[in-house]
């Protein structure tokens, strides 16, 4: 299970994954398919380079869950982007994934640190990120080590796919253009 702590107001989640760093990196940055570790959302981007735009969308692409910009992209060790849940009017924060190979031989793996930088305290975003950080890392671990999320997570994702129509109208993709004018 992911460890959680607070460092200077930032939420920090950490986990050890017994997998190759490239496998973990791919799961966090893949496009063109669902990101099983990130609530089965699809990463849409204008480019995974600093200044590139990104969004996490539902499988149909009709709804934008998260909108942001790439801040840093240093394969396969560091990926930082701004983060705004489209359904809330909360301030923007940053999400940082840091990957560090650890151990050797049978004990080798990757330490993954998920930081939420500038997490707005007392907001809906803050509450969502506090529980979401655990789930993202625990699911990432399951996928990288076993090839799929837990049964409970797969059931939840099935419900998400069937219930996306209940998302607020403000999250519809036409309200969140990926390309800025």
Whether the Cβ atoms of residue 17 and residue 28 lie closer than 8 Å to each other: no
Distance CA 160, CA 145 (A): 24
Please give the model's pTM, rounded to 2 decimal places. 0.92
Instruction: Give me the pLDDT at residue 4, please.
Output: 66
**Helix (H), strand (E), coil (C) string for 13-60:** EEEEECCCHHHHHHHHHCCCCEECCCCCEEEEECCCCCCCEEEEECCC
What superfamily would CATH give domain 3-172? START domain (3.30.530.20)
Whether the Cβ atoms of residue 28 and residue 147 lie closer than 8 Å to each other: no
Instruction: Give me the pLDDT at residue 156, please.
Output: 86
Torsion of the alpha carbons at 130, 132, 137 and 138, rounded to the nearest 10: 110
Provide the total of helices (H) and of strands (E) in the chain, helices listed first: 3, 9
Q: Each residue of 114-157: pLDDT tens digit?
A: 999 998 888 999 889 888 899 999 999 999 999 999 898 889 88
pLDDT at 10 over 90: no
Instruction: Give me the pLDDT at residue 9, please.
Output: 72
Q: Each residue of 36-93: pLDDT tens digit?
A: 999 999 999 999 999 999 999 999 999 999 999 999 999 999 999 999 999 999 999 9
Q: What are phi and psi of 134, to 5 degrees?
A: -60, -50
Q: Please, which pLDDT band fits residue 162 given cuts at 50, 70 and 90?
A: confident
Distance CA 9, CA 118 (A): 7
Instruction: Give me the pLDDT at residue 120, please.
Output: 83
């Amino acid at each position: 299970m992911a460890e959680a702590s607070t460092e200077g107001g930032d939420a920090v989640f950490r986990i050890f994954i017994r997998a190759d760093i490239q496998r973990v990196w791919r799961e966090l940055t893949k496009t063109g398919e669902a990101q099983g570790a990130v609530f089965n959302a699809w990463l849409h981007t204008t480019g995974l380079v600093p200044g590139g735009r990104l969004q996490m969308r539902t499988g149909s692409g009709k709804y934008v869950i998260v909108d942001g910009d790439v801040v840093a992209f240093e394969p396969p060790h560091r990926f930082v982007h701004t983060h705004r849940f489209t359904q809330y009017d909360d301030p923007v924060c940053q999400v940082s994934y840091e990957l560090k190979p650890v151990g050797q031989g049978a004990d080798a793996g990757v330490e993954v640190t998920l930081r939420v930088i500038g997490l707005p305290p007392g907001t809906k975003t803050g509450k969502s990120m506090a529980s979401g950080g655990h789930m993202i890392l625990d699911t990432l671990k399951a996928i990288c080590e076993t090839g799929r999320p837990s049964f409970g997570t797969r059931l939840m994702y099935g419900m998400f796919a069937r219930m996306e129509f209940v998302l607020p109208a403000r999250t519809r993709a036409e309200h969140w253009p990926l390309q800025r004018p």
